[in-house]
Chains A and B, each alone.
Chain A
Amino acid sequence: MLPSKLKGYVDSNSKADKNHNGCCTPPAKNKESYALQDQDVIREFLVESHENLSRLDQEFVELEKHPKDAALLASIFRTIHTIKGTCGFLAFSTLERITHQAETLLSQLRDGERELTASMISLIFETVDATRKVLASIEESGEEGPNGFEDLTERLSIAAQLTASPENQPSLEVSAPTQSSAALSGAALPGATTSPVLLAEPHIDVGVSSPPEGKKFEEDTGKSSAAADANIRVGVGLLDKLMDLVGELVLTRNQILQYNAEREDATLNATSQRLNLITSELQEGVMKTRMQPIGVVWNKLPRVVRDMAMSLGKQIRLEMDGAGTELDRTIIEAIKDPLMHLVRNSCDHGIEAPQERARAGKPPEGRLTLRAYHEGGQVNIEIGDDGAGIDVARVKQMALDRGLLRPEQVETLSDREALNLIFLPGFSTAKTITNVSGRGVGMDVVKSHIEKIGGVVDVFSRPGEGSTVKIKIPLTLAIIPGLVITSGNRRAAPRSGARIGERFVIPQVSLVELIRLEGQADRSQIERIHGTPVYRRRGGLLPIAYLNDILGLERPVDIEASAETSAEANVVNIVVLQAEDRQFGLVVDGINDTQEIVVKPLGKQLKGLTIYAGATIMGDGAVALILDVLGIGQRSGVLAESREQARTAVEQKTQSGTEQQRLLLFRAGSFKRLAVPLALVARLEEFQQSAIEHAGGGLVVQYRNRILPLVPLRTILEPGAPGPDQTADPVQVVVFNDGDRSLGMVVDQILDVAEEAVTVRQKSSQKGLLGSAVVGKQVTDFLDLNDVIHAAAENWFQGQDGLESRKRILVAETSPFSRGLIRSSLEMAGYGVLEASTLDEAIRALEQQPVDIVMATLDLPPGGGSALLRAMRRRPQWDGIPVLALTEAAAGQAKASEVQAAGFDDCQPKFDRAAMLESLARLASALASAEDVAGGRGRGALIHGG
């Protein structure tokens, strides 16, 4: 373990140590060597100490289970002693002092002078942590740092003192008087302070090493020097360099093999065969040098689990299986954090508290299992617990509550899919947020980390029996198998052969299957849905992307290769790829073969291109780009960015005043995206140009035995614009209905129906528009139907009732946008509308003009809609006016009854036009009959023009 040079020092030092009773100043002999030693020695010391410390963590956890294990105690003692010895030699006095005290304590344990207690273990853990801190400081600055850990040293020394109970004291050592240790027993808790007098003595006495210590140490050095003969320490940098070189060699070998295949030279053939073999073996060997057992990461976990179990009041047993499973060190680095997170998660959310477990008929001690094993060139890691499992129903509910999914989406989820919801950002099922987990960041990070190294995460759970997270990761990242494909036209390059298309490599891990379609009939198997290509694969629809389109390449149509292409023209190669949890087909021009490729990073200039994962050098020495399957999928749109969507859904949800409604999206003139609430639309129609007639200076069409006036929307929005597009045939018309009257609005194209939480609003000054909002990630203008219809058909509102009977309604609603929408529907239904956005405005409006019915939103500032109601009921002249409460769309029945209890005459959701109008009609007729009864209460005077 120790380099022999250092070992000599340590050895001599330990002898010196004995003589000096752990005194802090290095002996004179060593001062000389101290001057000689260079940074290398300190580095060695750091590396070794870190190793020792991580071993200590493990051994202590083990020790808690078997407190009497003498071999274990001896090993722990040796480790501490080694650190102490070395730092004494290197003159790190703080470290030496701490470890010295710990060693004292341990030697008593080892010699059976005292029993191990939990508090003692905690104290020693603290020592280990302190040692780490000092080491980190040494690593950083070369100094031990300002923290002397005097407090800890004191506590250690007290603890050591305490043990020395009179009956099993070794005869000569401890001179501390019995009464002092008795006096101390009360102060043995961590953080307790004692008088320095009591401290000074035991420090010297116990430090006198007992004979076995020296002997043990000798044994130790003997053993480790044997180990040192078999192992040497090699810098990671050197290994990486070797790996690079082997990569080069592999490529060169590939080139030679290709060259050899073209020749018939027996000697060359034999030599290249040999080269092939040796290279493969060398590659394997060098790969192995970079391999580390996964135990390197797992070592830290027992301590983590122990600490967590303590702080959560749970009992957890950690079982590890397959710690020797080896992985490339880059991958080990990459999975460190995700693994830690998963283990913490299992401790926190998975395993229940002992009482709860007992109730479920399980042993109070929870079991956390880690398993690692090789399977099919990949490494599987499983983190399992026997806890409560994941409650699928709760996961679904949570996804709903957080707005990550819509109710109808949740319905269709299988249990397995629902489980995987936990990997969505912003998701956490923990009821309470602990300092460990429950913040909803984590599982998505785990997933993205694993995927970054080409791995896959999956979660399995059985209610009441526990859950298991399964991770599949590749063995190494440096050399991977890949499928070589060609795409597009190769630009004429001076020295290139007559190959067509450019070569790209697709990592084999992402590959699911290859599909080859031949002949015209099969080509038609790629169908289009609204321009989007899909392929029917075994009954399911597979979204298709064309690599040439993504890369902006053309299909190969070289003249000299036309013979080949004409035969190939009818062939479609689909590479089915897996990215995240989805599959899609990538159409490429040619499929070559699979190869072992060496992944090389791209230069900074190309880092921004997410469609490439790197580049490699092919057998002929040319560079080929490696496609990033995830990036390709996202670029082509076949992978709807589900994470992004989830994230925006959360964001949208958190914005105040979200209004979920169904919108009709269409296009007219230069307005590319217009919307009206679908609730206002009666139907969508198409009319042939020939069916459109002119009547009364406008366009009309015969529709269901009536005359439907048509309004070309673009002429209203853009007065100077030309009339409806004559070439569009048939024309698309949105029909609005009210009672017997209908109006057709001619639009250029109907785009979509969207159900959307309308978020961003901006009031518009443009005539005919209410404002803009973001719908489906695009800015969309909302049509002011009222304006449009006014401009188009003056007689719309002059129904058979005439203006006289128009009821005047005050709409008190905060959002100008909603107000506009409500006004549109009310005016279309023949009501006169007044608007107010606050309580004050509403009162003012009531004071200024007579009002028949008031509609108030419940969140009217300040004080809400009910404040307005109360204000109105206080004044006799307003007392008789019915007040209708407007609720958010989602408010349920409970809300409605609550509202009625508050004294509102009725309550309706904001965007349910039909219900709203029905309610108004009911209120209006009640009003009318009341008027009839009351006779001249003066409401007749309300009848003014609009």
Chain B
Amino acid sequence: MAAETATLKPELARTSGQFSTFFVADLFFGVDVLRVQEVLRFQQMTRVPQSPEVVEGLINLRGQIVTAIDMRRRLGLPPRDGDQPPMNIVVRTDDGAVSLLVDEIGDVLDVDTASYEPPPANLHPAARELIRGVYKLKDRLLLVLDAERTVELGAVRKSGGAHVPSTTEK
């Protein structure tokens, strides 16, 4: 593991310009493709009583125990429809692999660095915390997810994730 993260660091420093994309509700996210370890269908999950609400459970990834974080709850979005099993995007972080539960997996996209912009200042602080920047694609906006911050639950604890009022109050 140690060796793996050691070699990982320089990779993280430079961006490949390629993003593995996914959907959470109507938001279109991207994570640097080098960060993504694998993409899985929904896995059997062991829930962890008394854990922060955003932790959906633990999955067995070929003998490695990986924490799964529900991105809907992490972003303070309403829960997904019952019959739509989420997908796992397993991302490598400084503290090992973590699985992000998302609605749907998109393509791997090459983006033009010129279309990059920092997140708008009026973005809700809870969302701005997780979104590093925005790529203006032709037909939509690609939000760059800060994977490290996403799996950092220090501030979230048991409160149930960041709250974005406009969507939760639906």
A residues whose Cβ falls under 8 Å from a Cβ of B: 237, 244, 247-248, 251, 488, 491, 493-496, 502, 550-553, 600-606, 608-609, 611-612, 615, 617, 621-625
Contact = CB atoms under 8 A, between A and B. Distances in A.
B50 A611 contact: yes
B46 A623 contact: yes
A617 B69 CA distance: 19
Contacts of A552: 49-50
B46 A551 contact: no
A251 B62 CA distance: 10
Interface string B91-131: 00001101000000000000000000000000000000000
B142 interface: no
A715 B15 CA distance: 69
Given A603-B95, A606-B67, A617-B65, A622 B46 contact: yes
Nearest to A621: B60
B85 interface: yes
Contact of B46 (A237, A553, A600, A624): A624
B52 interface: yes
From A552, A608, A611, name the one whose CB has the most chain B CB atoms within 10 angstroms: A608
B132 to A, nearest CB: 20
The listed residue with most A CB atoms (<10 A of its CB), out of B2, B46, B51, B57, is: B46
B89 interface: no
A606 B154 CA distance: 10
A604 B98 CA distance: 10
Contact of A604 (B42, B49, B50, B151): B151
Contact of A502 (B47, B60, B85): B47
Contacts of B42: 494
Contacts, number: 80
Contacts of B57: 623
A603 B67 contact: yes
B55 A606 contact: yes
A494 B83 CA distance: 10
Contacts of A600: 64-65
Nearest to A252: B63
Given A611-B50, A617-B60, A622-B60, 4 more contacts: A496-B44, A551-B49, A604-B95, A606-B51
Q: Which 10 interchain pairs have the tightest Cβ spacing? A: A551-B49, A603-B67, A623-B46, A248-B63, A623-B58, A604-B95, A605-B153, A600-B65, A615-B65, A605-B67
A276 B133 CA distance: 53
B59 interface: yes
A629 to B, nearest CB: 16
Contact of B151 (A605, A611, A621): A605
B60 A612 contact: no
B67 to A, nearest CB: 4
Contacts of A237: 2
A624 B46 CA distance: 7
Contact of A602 (B62, B65, B153, B157): B65
Contacts of B134: none
Interface of B: 2, 42, 44-52, 55, 57-60, 62-67, 69, 85, 95-96, 98, 151, 153, 157
Given A606-B55, A609-B50, A625-B46, A247 B63 contact: yes
B55 A623 contact: no
A602 B67 contact: yes
B143 to A, nearest CB: 22
Contact of B45 (A493, A606, A615): A493
Contacts of B64: 600
A312 B95 CA distance: 48
Contact of B47 (A248, A491, A495, A605): A491
Nearest to B2: A237
Contact of B63 (A491, A553, A608, A617): A617
A603 B44 contact: no
B44 A493 contact: yes
B58 to A, nearest CB: 4
A496 B48 CA distance: 16
A625 B47 CA distance: 9
24 contacts: A244-B63, A248-B63, A491-B47, A494-B85, A496-B44, A502-B47, A553-B49, A603-B95, A603-B98, A604-B96, A605-B51, A605-B151, A606-B55, A615-B58, A615-B65, A621-B60, A622-B44, A622-B46, A623-B45, A623-B46, A623-B60, A623-B65, A624-B46, A625-B48
Contact of B96 (A494, A603, A617, A624): A603
Contacts of B62: 248
A261 B63 CA distance: 22
A577 B65 CA distance: 27
A552 B62 CA distance: 29
A59 B16 CA distance: 59
Contacts of A606: 48, 51, 55, 67
A540 to B, nearest CB: 30
Nearest to B151: A605
Contacts of B55: 605-606
Contacts of A615: 46, 58, 65
A612 B47 CA distance: 13
Contacts of A617: 60, 63, 65
Given A603-B95, A615-B65, A502 B46 contact: yes
Nearest to A548: B49
Interface centre among A553, A622, A624 (most CB of B within 10 A): A622
A704 B45 CA distance: 68
A229 B87 CA distance: 53
A550 B96 CA distance: 29
Contacts of A488: 49
A590 to B, nearest CB: 16
A552 B48 CA distance: 10
Contacts of B151: 603-605
B52 A621 contact: no
A866 B30 CA distance: 79
A621 B42 CA distance: 15
Nearest to B93: A604
Residue of B51, B60, B69, B98 ringed by the most chain A CB atoms within 10 A = B60
A491 B51 CA distance: 15
A502 B48 CA distance: 10
A430 to B, nearest CB: 42
B59 A623 contact: yes
A623 B59 CA distance: 6
Given A606-B55, A622-B46, A251 B95 contact: no
B44 A621 contact: yes
A98 B90 CA distance: 55
A99 B71 CA distance: 63
A411 to B, nearest CB: 40
A683 B64 CA distance: 65
Nearest to B3: A237
A493 B43 CA distance: 9
Query: Which of B65, B66, B95 has the most chain A CB atoms closer than 10 A to its own CB?
Result: B65
Which of B49, B58, B60, B66 is most buried by chain A, counting CB atoms within 10 A of its CB?
B49
A605 B2 CA distance: 19
A604 B1 CA distance: 15
Contacts of B51: 605-606, 609
Most buried by A among B2, B63, B69, B157: B63
Contacts of B45: 493, 623
B44 A495 contact: yes
Contacts of B98: 603, 605
A609 B63 contact: no
A552 B50 CA distance: 7
A551 B50 contact: yes
